[in-house]
Structure 1
């Protein structure tokens, strides 16, 4: 007799941020369903938390239309294999984490097979592609929301959802320990420190890196005492960043380039220069003045910006629904403009003004995310 496959829940998480979010929830789900295997797509954190990986999350980590085209054959092959697995051996549940362009088609197939579908991190229909809400309704049984304002949007669309808070709000302390972080990273306790985060992807570093480090060069001309801390996501990104730094010798001399430690780097700083993405929220949760810069190929930018539904690209501004921090995109992401904003961010009055706002934001995102998420997932499975 053919052996039946073990019961399983399939997870599908792309990007570093999705891997982190899912890794915070995965242990609670495993505790709730100890007899069910956890399989699918995830990164190092999910694997360490108990996921059996079919593919690694980094295989889906691509941003921008033109960049996706270059990697499309690989991505489509992975999605095809996921669709086959869902069809031939339907799991007990399918949990997609972010990555809606990849996950929603698989979720539609899974739901059509009677598989309960949960999606963590709602597609940002409030920011762009609002019509996608119809596909979400077809594909998903329950949404796990990480921003409080999203509940009303999906309630109006009659899509079941639970606000679970943002896991980063639990991970990042309400009161940053700046001096302690500096000592750990080998930075001087006194004097201005700027954390520079040009992105975790190769294309981001290629496009943002020269502009960011060019800005550091301008800053040093204004204040030679400034030090820079630059966390690299992995060895490959570290090598790419180091190569760019070679073209800015004075900046390289004033820079500590570290592997990982992005949170410590932010905590150690007086101001942060950061590419758009989850890192903008991390910077705000560390109560630091930040400047957002982003550059990409012109065609990608034109296509993305043309579909935008909000005037902001950074999470602190979107959550506040006003311009709290500067956003320098495309032609405005240049050394002189970035440097001007960072020098302003280093003024003590700027930090003081933002601290209370960011503290209030932190409290609004602070929930027992693993408990709320695992309870919502359990409720969906028990109803099926």
Structure 2
């Protein structure tokens, strides 16, 4: 089968990375294929005609979604009309299930073949969504083999395509080489802060991430902290966030990193002043220590007599 037109909608930077690899693979098999939809720098570089900026769909949290709901509805209506007029051979939604599955359902009802790349975690929770997925896609493309088995058990066409990072990352990692590339000491503990690629993740959670790192540095002298910057824009936002903290020279930017993305390195000595503030944290998912820790280590300043737990003023 010759594929001439592919409509792809990615919702954030991770989707752009996946879409870039997907487009390259499709072009290798179908050199004359055309692409249209929503993509970021990588997909545009591969020939995507992006109808809206990638950031249009990069919203997080209930409040942000409600705030941007009219715009999101307008964008989806525009994409539906655009795809119907362009008549692609297939429409592929990359992740962003709350946006893409609805669009896929509308296009499938209009006779366009649809696929969804990156399975929602329907196998883990809200399994009732499987009925909506069945109405939306002609095929689900999964990262993990057990996901494929799950969809097959529900009689939804599925293909296990694997995770693209498996082709980029070595099976074994040279820790010493990685630390040397990032300018980190080889024998000292390292904390990686992973705020994500969305602007609002830096805007709303950036200070919380840094507060957590500062607290850990005070309890773990010598701890080294690194922060990956997903895009040049996120890089500048992180730089501004760090520079706004009195006494912090904002570390320095390491030019080499995993997959070529820049990282910020923060030295523990640069943090000597921490704002006095209260941080409210959920007792089941504390906001400032790793997911899965239902209580902090002994000695951390948390008052569990409070209903939701809270940090003492630092």
* TM-score, normalisation: structure 1: 0.63
Match of 1:106 in 2: 103
- Number of the residue aligned with 2:225: 228
| Aligned mates of 1:44, 1:337 — CA distance in 2 | 43
Tell me how far apart the structure 2 counterparts of residues 188 and 123 of structure 1 sit (CA, whole Å): 38
Structure 2, unpaired ranges of 5+: 266-279, 303-314
Q: CA deviation at 1:84?
A: 0.6
Aligned length: 279
What secondary structure is seen at the aligned counterpart in 1 of 2:43?
Answer: helix
1:265 is displaced (CA, Å) by 7.9
State the 1:177 CA deviation: 2.6
Shift in Å at residue 194 of structure 1?
A: 2.3
Q: Which residue number corresponds to residue 346 of structure 1?
A: none
CA-atom RMSD in angstroms = 3.5
Partner of 1:206: 203
**How far 1:82 sits from its partner (Å)?**
0.7
For residues 57 and 189 of structure 2, the distance between their equivalents in structure 1, rounded to whole angstroms, comes to 37
The equivalent of 1:65 in structure 2 is: 62
TM-score (norm 2): 0.76
User: Which of structures 1 and 2 has the bigger CA Rg?
Assistant: 2
Partner residue in 1 for 2:80: 83
**CA, structure 1 residues 262+205, in 2 after alignment: closer, same or farther (shift >3 Å)?**
farther
Structure 1 gaps, min length 5: 1-5, 270-296, 306-310, 312-324, 339-384
Q: 1:171 to 1:78 in 2, by over 3 A?
A: same
Corresponding position of 1:8: 5
Partner of 1:240: 237
Q: Superposition pairs for residues 244-263 of structure 1, below 5 Å?
A: 244-246=241-243, 248=245, 252=248, 255-257=251-253, 261=257, 263=259
Q: Distance in 2 between matches of 1:127 and 1:260?
A: 36
Residues 1:124 and 2:121 are matched in the alignment: yes
2:34 to 34, 37, 40: 37
CA–CA distance in structure 2, aligned partners of residues 141 and 13 of structure 1: 18
Deviation track 1:125-165 (CA, whole Å, cap 9, x = no partner) reads 12333222112111211111112211222112111101111
Compare the two structures and name the one with the higher helix fraction. 1
2:68 and 2:254 map into 1 onto residues whose CA distance is 28
Which region of structure 1 is more displaced relative to structure 2, 104-113 or 227-236?
227-236
